[in-house]
């Protein structure tokens, strides 16, 4: 028996990394998804092909990861291909990209994402965000989109104030009715406390896993809507030593990303 | 639905910058010279000649990598007004242009996290139109192709549509809804490259974002280059020519032209300066930044000399250790 200490951000990153599949393509958003992909590549999925909107296909990103280096030499190192943004998105639109991974400021129970603004009136936002970026395309085009985000009530809402990127249902209509690609969309939501999928029938977000030591109630109570709850909610392992070593020593030694969030101490 | 009619299902209400393909062709025919002319000039002259008040402006790559930052500062220094900015894949350019009083409309792909600009948007002091990085890039692609719009499957189902100029139709081929993105032909684009010749042939190394599309779709194009090279270099390796000279109006020799961002193969970004930019919150802080780094110097050269300094520049050059693929 020993004690492991970690932040809930580290948990979220590790849990997302464990989900990825080797020999698949994955469209990577800015920030945490970049860290997840590097961790997965180092430990679990050595042949994963990362795809970036600015036009890098399959880079073997150099570490340490520096926030904000998107598009620079570190982040495009030894790519298979450098190309344009329209080509990178076209790979996804044509179906070549298996996974997408994004962060989100706000999400609703159908997996719609808001990266634009908070408030009831678009013209007078209470809070303005930077906008879609490439998030809309990732969520629209990739076969399975994974959303990685911090678990807070204000982020999990009944309906997004502004839908920037599409989930499964919008205003009561299935995404395909809007012309979005068939059989694609949000697949998992990984938070600092748990993991969700989307119920096939109702298309609603469903809790399928909680971080060890947390109860279902503790997770659900910090959401502004009631998610569905799977019959067998699994216990999610805390980050293991190997994951933490790679994260802390190799990927983010300056703690730019992984030190954020709540600190957790756990016996393992 | 009447047979033979294409059905419009939805349409955005936002104002768009749109040039009809024939008007663009006319412009290209009459105003873009295919002659091999020496277009090398100082940044001051290039911006004076080719950026006008009220222009729609686009630029390529990002704030951190190969962005046209010296040209951007010159635009602010010359106090251009009423610009409409294509903010695809950007972090701080829109903030500086708004802070400098140069821009009042932004097509949002991504406008970055600078609290100053987000605050201005919250106060309604700048007009935003919603798009996405992908849709703006596809719009530039359509503009480059000389077609009026491009169909795509992004933006569908979202609130972006009504705050953009997108039209949704039932596609007559597949019979499912599809987004029509209007072509985008900027009045002017500014693009930083690693290498150009004096006529405007240009190369970039690394991912391109929309280098060619942006140049090809724009009425006026200003290139700034780390290095000016001989034309024969392009003929020796034509695969690497991203922009042919006849798209270009002005070439500016601008070493460290992407500073405080980096340029692949030359120098890394200046993380400290970047932090300074991203922490600008208030009007006072913005004006102080602009005074310190833009208005109080006369040129990019003076900026490098007096505001950055040779030891910082050398440090950034040393940090650019990864050269593979960039030379």
Predicted local confidence at residue B3, as pLDDT: 62
CA distance A263 to chain B (A): 26
In this predicted structure, the answer to whether residue B1 has a pLDDT above a threshold of 60 is no
Predicted local confidence at residue B95, as pLDDT: 95
Predicted local confidence at residue B207, as pLDDT: 96
Predicted local confidence at residue B258, as pLDDT: 97
Average pLDDT over residues B226-231: 98
> Helix crossing, B283-290 with B115-122: angle to 10°?
130
Average pLDDT over residues B298-302: 98
Predicted local confidence at residue B201, as pLDDT: 98
In this predicted structure, the answer to whether residue B313 has a pLDDT above a threshold of 60 is yes
CATH T-level assignment (fold) for domain A3-267: Glutaconate Coenzyme A-transferase (3.40.1080)
Cβ pair B138:A86 closer than 8 A: yes
Predicted local confidence at residue B119, as pLDDT: 94
**Which of A30, A100, A127, A130 has the highest number of chain B CBs within 10 A, making it the mutation to test binding with B?**
A130
| Average pLDDT for chain A | 96
Q: Mark whether A5 is an active-site residue.
A: no
Domain ranges of chain B: 7-261
Domain ranges of chain A: 3-267
Please report which helix (H) or strand (E) contains residue B121, including its range.
helix B115-122
pLDDT tens figures, B3-30: 678 999 999 999 999 999 999 999 999 9
For B161-164, the CB contacts below 8 A with 24+ separation are B161/B10, B161/B11, B161/B12, B162/B10, B162/B12, B162/B13, B162/B14, B163/A122, B163/B12, B163/B13, B163/B14, B163/B128, B163/B129, B163/B130, B164/B12, B164/B14, B164/B16, B164/B129, B164/B130, B164/B131, B164/B135
Cβ of A264 under 8 Å from any chain B Cβ?
A: no
Q: For residue A231, name the pLDDT band (cuts at 50, 70, 90).
A: very high
CA distance B292 to chain A (A): 24
Nearest CA in chain B to A71: B65
Cβ of A156 under 8 Å from any chain B Cβ?
A: no
Nearest to A89 among B62, B134, B177 (CB): B134
pLDDT tens figures, B188-218: 999 999 999 999 999 999 999 999 999 999 9
Predicted local confidence at residue A71, as pLDDT: 87
Cβ of A140 under 8 Å from any chain B Cβ?
A: yes
Angle at A50 between CA A49 and CA A55, to 5 degrees: 115
CA distance B45 to chain A (A): 30
Taking the CA atoms of residue B116, residue A254, residue A245 and residue B318 in that order, the dihedral angle to the nearest 10 degrees is: 110
Residues of chain B above pLDDT 70, percent:
99
Under the phi-then-psi rule, with left for phi > 0, alpha for psi from -120 to 50, and beta for the rest, what region is B124? Answer: left
Under the phi-then-psi rule, with left for phi > 0, alpha for psi from -120 to 50, and beta for the rest, what region is A203? Answer: left
pLDDT tens figures, A45-81: 999 999 999 999 999 999 998 876 778 999 999 999 9
Q: For residue B91, name the pLDDT band (cuts at 50, 70, 90).
A: confident
Which candidate in A5, A21, A41, A53 is catalytic? A53
In this predicted structure, the answer to whether residue B177 has a pLDDT above a threshold of 90 is yes
Predicted local confidence at residue B195, as pLDDT: 98
Q: How far apart are CA B228 and CA B196, in angstroms?
A: 5
Predicted local confidence at residue B40, as pLDDT: 98
Alpha-carbon distances, residue B227 vs B155, B196, B208, B264, B285 (angstroms): 39, 7, 18, 13, 34
| CATH code for residues B7-261 | 3.40.1080.10
**Which of A59, A85, A169 has the highest number of chain B CBs within 10 A, making it the mutation to test binding with B?**
A85
Cβ pair B210:A132 closer than 8 A: no
In this predicted structure, the answer to whether residue B2 has a pLDDT above a threshold of 70 is no
User: Residue A13: how many CA atoms within 13 Å on its side-chain side?
Assistant: 30
Coil, strand or helix at B287: helix
More confidently predicted of B114 and A192: A192
CA distance B247 to chain A (A): 18
Tokens of B48: 């004076």
């Amino acid at each position: 028996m020993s004690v492991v200490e970690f932040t809930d951000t580290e948990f979220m990153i590790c849990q997302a990394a464990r989900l990825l599949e080797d020999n698949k393509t994955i469209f990577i958003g800015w920030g945490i998804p970049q860290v997840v992909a590097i961790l997965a590549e180092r430990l679990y999925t050595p042949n994963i092909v990362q795809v970036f909107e600015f036009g890098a296909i399959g880079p073997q990103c150099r570490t340490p990861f520096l926030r904000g280096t998107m598009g620079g030499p570190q982040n495009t190192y030894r790519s298979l291909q450098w190309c344009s943004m329209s080509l990178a998105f076209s790979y996804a639109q044509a179906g070549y990209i298996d996974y997408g991974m994004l962060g989100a400021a706000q999400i609703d129970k159908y997996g719609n994402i808001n990266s634009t603004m908070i408030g009831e009136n678009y013209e007078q936002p209470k809070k303005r965000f930077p906008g879609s970026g490439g998030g809309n395309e990732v969520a629209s085009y990739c076969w399975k989109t994974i959303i990685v985000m911090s678990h807070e009530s204000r982020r999990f809402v009944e309906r997004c104030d502004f839908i920037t990127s599409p989930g499964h249902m919008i205003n009561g209509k299935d995404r395909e009715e809007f012309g979005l690609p068939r059989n694609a969309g949000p697949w998992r939501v990984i938070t600092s406390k748990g993991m969700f999928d989307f119920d096939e029938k109702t298309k609603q977000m469903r809790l399928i896993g909680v971080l060890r030591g947390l109860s279902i109630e503790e997770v659900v109570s910090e959401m502004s809507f009631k998610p569905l709850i799977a019959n067998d909610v699994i216990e999610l392992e805390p980050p293991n030593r190997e994951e933490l070593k790679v994260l802390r020593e190799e990927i983010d030694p300056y703690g730019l990303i992984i030190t954020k969030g709540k600190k957790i101490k756990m016996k393992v | 639905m009447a047979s033979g009619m294409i059905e419009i299902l939805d349409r955005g209400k936002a104002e768009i910058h749109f040039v009809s393909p024939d008007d663009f062709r006319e412009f290209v025919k009459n105003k873009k010279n295919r002659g091999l002319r020496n277009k090398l000039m100082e940044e001051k002259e290039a911006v004076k000649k080719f950026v006008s008040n009220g222009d729609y402006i686009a630029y390529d790559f990002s704030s951190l990598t190969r962005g046209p930052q010296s040209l951007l500062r010159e635009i602010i220094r010359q106090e251009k007004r009423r610009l409409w900015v294509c903010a695809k894949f950007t972090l701080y350019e829109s903030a500086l242009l708004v802070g400098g009083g140069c821009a009042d409309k932004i097509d949002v792909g991504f406008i970055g996290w600078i609290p100053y600009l987000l605050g201005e948007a919250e106060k309604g002091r700048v007009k935003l139109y919603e798009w996405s990085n992908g849709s703006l890039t596809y719009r530039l692609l359509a503009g480059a192709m000389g077609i009026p719009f491009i169909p795509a499957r992004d933006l569908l189902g979202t609130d972006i549509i009504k705050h953009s100029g997108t039209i949704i139709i039932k596609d007559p081929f597949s019979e499912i809804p599809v987004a029509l993105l209007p072509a985008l032909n900027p009045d002017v684009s500014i693009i930083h490259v690693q290498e150009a010749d004096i006529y405007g042939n240009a190369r970039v190394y690394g991912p391109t974002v929309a280098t060619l599309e942006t140049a090809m779709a724009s009425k006026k194009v200003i290139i700034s280059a780390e290095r000016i090279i001989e034309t024969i270099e392009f003929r020796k390796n034509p695969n690497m020519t991203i922009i042919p000279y006849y798209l270009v109006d002005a070439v500016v020799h601008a070493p460290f032209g992407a500073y405080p961002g980096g340029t692949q193969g030359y120098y890394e970004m200046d993380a400290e300066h970047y932090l300074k930019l991203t922490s600008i919150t208030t009007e006072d802080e913005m004006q102080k930044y602009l005074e310190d780094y833009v208005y109080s110097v006369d040129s990019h050269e003076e900026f490098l000399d007096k505001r950055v300094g040779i030891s910082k520049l050398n440090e950034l050059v040393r940090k650019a250790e990864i050269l593979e693929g960039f030379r």
